[in-house]
Amino acid sequence: MKSNVALPPSDFRDTLPTADASGGRRWLYPRETTGRFTRWRTVVAVVLLIVLFAGPFVWIDGHPLFLFNVLERRFIFFGVPFWPQDFYLVAFGLIAFIVFVALFTVVYGRVWCGWACPQTIFMEMVFRKIEGWIEGDFNARKRLDASPWTTEKVVKKGLKHGVFFLISFAISNTFLAYIIGRDQWLTLITDNPAQHLAGLSAIVIFTGVFYLVFAWLREIVCTTICPYGRLQGVLLDKNSLIVAYDYIRGEPRGKRVKTEPPGGEELRVKNDELRVKNDELRVKNLKSDHPEAQPSLITLNSSLLTPKAPKGDCIDCKLCVQVCPMGIDIRNGTQLECINCTLCIDVCDSVMDKIELPQGLIRMDSQANIEQGKPFRFTARILAYSGVLLVLLGIIGFLLVSRPVMDVTVLRAPGQLYQRETGGKVSNLYLVEVINKTYRTLPVQFRLSRTDAKLRFVQPLSSVPAGELTKGMFFIDLPEKTIRQNSTPLHIDVLAGNEVVDQIETTFLGPVK
């Protein structure tokens, strides 16, 4: 039996949604809509925007909640300081994050892109809203761009781009505050500009980048620059939850006539009844003694067999295309441009309500459920990702809990061998670096594993300030008569108070008779 499901046009991927027939840029003018998903996205966006702008300015106990000081190699996540020596934690964290993104995409598709990505939040919830307030709805914006330059157009365009630049400037300052910290940022913007040319230049450059992204590049960032859209092709499968069009229910699409019944089942029953009656009349006419009556009877009954073919629930209003910020037609199936913003779901549900049909023609669902009616289930692939993620999170948790409060590095002074001292002793010079990873000053002591060894600091080192790196030098003396090899292993215990926080292994060079 021939299927009523219409396949997507074979050439719909021949051109980009953002390119016209000549290959030039085609601007998108997405239509605004409302609905339950749009309301939830707005709530999520407001919360994330507040967190984003407040992040570098929220301090707890005199310390920032977040800091990503690449220049000084200082990082703070949720108030916990990290140093370059903690890079292994960052490495495990990045691996866990990548696995989490893969797992989340396998299960829920590109929800990150449509609901939490800063690019989408700023573009759709800030810049696009401002554009609508200044220039009007999608039709007004389209007419304005197509119209000649008039006073009204100059005023609206100038106001819009001026506001865009100010918001980009605010984002740039926030971004810089994350890098250099709140206090240095305040000094940068309040002090003599001549003293901070590098910092002010960074603000100007970042402002220009953000303005270019949100005023010009827009959706091109998602389709061309960001690699995540390309990765979804290997991460998604038929069991992933995606924004999907139910083509089984929706096809064949077409305008719905008020007098036409919404379903095709009743028409098919009547059609079968007419066909049976027509066959009965044909048999009677063939047996009749008056063959001249046959054509009229057959023609009369054949004329009744003209019911219209049943249509699907999609009325081809194209509102799902008009609201899409990426300019795609979701009815053509899953596409890399789709960011799961769910706007097409809201507008389609509103259309279904108006024509008194069930919602969900476009919905969050899996391809397997639409094609075969299979409900969502946890596959072996999802369980494997989850297992790996739990193991990585366990490792990170253990490393965080077991991380020492101090990180100590002891190295022999470069270019130095050993020195003979008075009293038959031999000394070696060492360099020491101590990092205090807490927010309080810690006392520090060094204890040698050998009782006959003596440690002498060039300058006293008894404490390490909070969150700082302290350097020092010390000598280790050994009696020459106890040295049995050229390189003698030594163990140094590092104590914070009475607690051993680190153990250092080093070597001692000396003469061998």
Give the Cα separation of 325 and 242 in Å (integer): 17
For residue 473, give the 3-state DSSP assignment.
strand
Residue 379's region, left for phi above 0, alpha for psi from -120 to 50, else beta, is beta
Span 77-106, average pLDDT = 80
pLDDT at 297: 43
pLDDT at 268: 55
Q: Which of 437, 430, 435 is CA-nearest to residue 410?
A: 430
Q: Of 107-111, 244-248, 294-298, where does the model show the most confidence?
A: 244-248
For residue 112, the surrounding DSSP H or E stretch is: helix 111-115
Residues in the chain: 513
Give the Cα separation of 497 and 243 in Å (integer): 59
Query: At 126, is the pLDDT very low, low, confident or very high (cuts 50, 70, 90)?
Result: very high
Span 379-400, average pLDDT = 83
243-285 pLDDT, tens digit per residue, is 999 999 998 888 876 544 555 555 555 655 666 566 566 556 5
Phi (first) and psi of residue 406, to 5 degrees? -125, 145
Residue 318's region, left for phi above 0, alpha for psi from -120 to 50, else beta, is left
User: How much of the chain exceeds pLDDT 70, in percent?
Assistant: 86
Domain boundaries, the chain: 259-310, 406-509
pLDDT at 110: 82
Query: At 496, is the pLDDT very low, low, confident or very high (cuts 50, 70, 90)?
Result: confident
Within 10 angstroms of residue 383's Cβ, the number of other Cβ atoms is 10
Query: At 342, is the pLDDT very low, low, confident or very high (cuts 50, 70, 90)?
Result: very high
Query: According to DSSP H, which parts of 362-447 are helical?
Result: 367-372, 380-402
Could you tell me which residue, 134 or 309, shows the higher pLDDT? 134
Give the Cα separation of 398 and 513 in Å (integer): 48
Going by the DSSP 8-state scheme, the letter that residue 19 receives in this structure is B
Span 198-209, average pLDDT = 93
Going by the DSSP 8-state scheme, the letter that residue 25 receives in this structure is B
230-246 pLDDT, tens digit per residue, is 777 678 888 888 899 99
27-57 pLDDT, tens digit per residue, is 999 999 999 999 999 999 999 999 999 999 9
Least confident of 29-38, 82-91, 192-201, 493-502: 82-91
**In this model, does residue 299 exceed pLDDT 70?**
no
pLDDT at 275: 61
> What is the residue whose two structure tokens read 């980048």?
209
| Cβ–Cβ < 8 Å for 9, 333 | no
Span 180-202, average pLDDT = 89
Phi (first) and psi of residue 442, to 5 degrees? -115, 135
Give the Cα separation of 220 and 27 in Å (integer): 11
**In this model, does residue 411 exceed pLDDT 60?**
yes
**In this model, does residue 374 exceed pLDDT 80?**
no
Query: At 478, is the pLDDT very low, low, confident or very high (cuts 50, 70, 90)?
Result: very high
- The pLDDT mean for the chain works out to 84
pLDDT at 294: 46
Architecture of domain 406-509: Sandwich (2.60)
**By CB neighbour count within 10 A (0-12 exposed, 13-18 middle, 19+ buried), where does 24 fall?**
exposed
pLDDT at 71: 78
Q: Is the peptide bond preceding residue 252 cis, with omega within 30 degrees of 0?
A: yes
| Cβ–Cβ < 8 Å for 65, 55 | yes
Interacting residues of 216 by C-beta distance below 8 A, sequence separation 6+: none
**In this model, does residue 166 exceed pLDDT 90?**
yes
